[in-house]
Structure 1
């Protein structure tokens, strides 16, 4: 049975200073040019998320003073060997993630934004796109510093549940090898199954090469396709909340035009952006 992005609670083993992880809420956003994801069901046995707080009255053109964020010092917990949809426990952390990379200019803009502000990002690379080679020089210092984390979003963005076991492995291995060659990193254990689709067979095939933590999300900027700047600001106001993993995309430029407003929401709410490696430890990132 194919699963979408709402799959119960993340691991309860990750409890050092944290509690249970948040659930996915909202609609899955498929990557540009691909079919949309299946509707999201609600898991009845898990705690209810706090109601979203309204975002500030930010509109395109508003300006926030950019301030750099210091690297957080956290008591890291073990990366779960099951899907995660949020960050564990209570706190003020935000995992801003972005997928794909169809537009090199958008990836470049994210890199410049991170370098200017200190915002910490986890980028899920779809390896077939040239953006990861085109922007290697700009991204590499941020990756080396741990401010930007690279994770695996397969090579060509297929529905993994429709592939054979070896094909699943090949999709992940090819991007794994690319990121290792270009950036000198081991992207394990985090991978994001395209469309949020996975099943037990996908989890087992990915885990066979060390990708043991399928990473989903708890809120979306819905910019896998072309949307307006104001829509992105509104969705950031809805989903940039404590302990959320929020998904964006590296495909279209409206998001790059509202970076000051998105950064302002983070600052106004007292949130601290983190990479997944900031929060979780694994044998690949002890």
Structure 2
């Protein structure tokens, strides 16, 4: 079993990574259906959108899952890099490669954003519950109209999604944070990692209450576009079976294709086994690589906005010290956390 965190981009020799993390994390703006960092581009089967194939690489924002420094807005279907309101479903053809101008987008300054909250933990506990809710805060489920990179419609909701599961301590920290604050989260997990079995007792009450949604990210984080139809089904069903065994719930119909890579064939294969709702993202904590806590918070400041689906990872510990701080940020912005199932039913 592979327990080493993988890059959100399937790279051959993972050592040959791009060496410009700032460019990696920049958001490719404009009309590219999915924004992507250069690392994700070069590492991934030849780059985002795999060109002519017209992948619905929906949302490839700068890094989707697991440690890769790339990570900006994996789903900036049509929004700007600075965080315009995402347009729910992704549409249009995938861009073969991000524009030069988009890759030049500066990454947020870790030092600049580190200031602003003298006592984040205290702030989080004081502002009781702009984000903390013990039940679904969405009055009525929204219609699903295709692969989603954001939460469509008006509102002050945010979907905080977290992928993978390579580090048991990060899984534990998120679970304790959720218990402590009532923050609603969606985990897109790879059951190849033992962390979920290890912390099952801590996670199970959250899952049973609906505060934590467990969704499918495949068993081994394989790039689905590189697999046969049968292998795609195996990746999703094996993961779902393990989720059922651990938590007594099914992850259907929600799944996140690793690296954000998908095309019509992948969607058809996934749908054949009950996974009909692919979820991407618009904005990232950029923690699929081992970045500093200050950088994690900087990305939260940049992308934790109304109606965004934001992606984080359960792989590196830089985020652990920032969880309460990020929660306080959401409270100051008046944002209410929702799971993907909260929003769409």
Relative to 1, partners in 2 of residues 1:35 and 1:188: Cα closer, same or farther, differing over 3 Å? same
Any residues of structure 2 matched to 1:192-203 within 5 Å, and which?
192-203=256-267
Q: Over aligned residues, Cα RMSD in angstroms?
A: 2.8
2:122 is the alignment partner of 1:57: no
Q: Is the 8 A contact 1:239 1:246 kept in 2?
A: yes
Q: Is the 8 A contact 1:59 1:230 kept in 2?
A: no
Q: Deviations over 1:218-265 (max 9, x none)?
A: 000010110000111110001100000000000011101111210111
Q: Deviations over 1:31-84 (max 9, x none)?
A: 22x7969x97975xx56663899978346974324235223142112334x210
Structure possessing the higher relative contact order (Cα contacts under 8 Å, 6 or more residues apart):
1
Q: For 2:254 and 2:113, locate their aligned partners in 1 and report how far apart those are by CA, in whole Å.
A: 29
Q: Deviations over 1:126-161 (max 9, x none)?
A: 010001111111000000000000000000011100
Any residues of structure 2 matched to 1:151-162 within 5 Å, and which?
151-162=215-226
Any residues of structure 2 matched to 1:148-227 within 5 Å, and which?
148-227=212-291
> Which one of 169, 180, 184 corresponds to residue 120 of structure 1?
184
Give the SS at the match of 1:151: strand
2:208 is the alignment partner of 1:144: yes
> Which one of 12, 20, 28 corresponds to residue 63 of structure 2?
28
Relative to 1, partners in 2 of residues 1:108 and 1:42: Cα closer, same or farther, differing over 3 Å? closer
Gaps of 5+ in 2: 1-52, 87-107
Q: For 2:326 and 2:235, locate their aligned partners in 1 and report how far apart those are by CA, in whole Å.
A: 32
Q: For 2:203 and 2:340, locate their aligned partners in 1 and report how far apart those are by CA, in whole Å.
A: 17
The structure richer in helix per residue is 2
Offset at residue 27 of structure 1 (A): 2.1
Q: Deviations over 1:89-137 (max 9, x none)?
A: 0100000000000011110110000000000000001010001111111
Q: Deviations over 1:172-225 (max 9, x none)?
A: 000100111110111111100000011111000000011011100000001011
Q: Is the 8 A contact 2:149 2:282 kept in 1?
A: yes
Aligned to 1:100: 164
2:329 is the alignment partner of 1:265: yes
Give the SS at the match of 1:180: helix
Gaps of 5+ in 1: 7-23, 282-286
Q: Is the 8 A contact 2:74 2:260 kept in 1?
A: no
Give the SS at the match of 1:174: helix
Relative to 1, partners in 2 of residues 1:141 and 1:241: Cα closer, same or farther, differing over 3 Å? same
Q: For 1:187 and 1:237, locate their aligned partners in 2 and report how far apart those are by CA, in whole Å.
A: 30
TM-score normalized with structure 2 length:
0.69
> Which one of 58, 61, 77 corresponds to residue 5 of structure 1?
58
Q: Is the 8 A contact 2:204 2:247 kept in 1?
A: yes
Q: Is the 8 A contact 1:4 1:40 kept in 2?
A: no
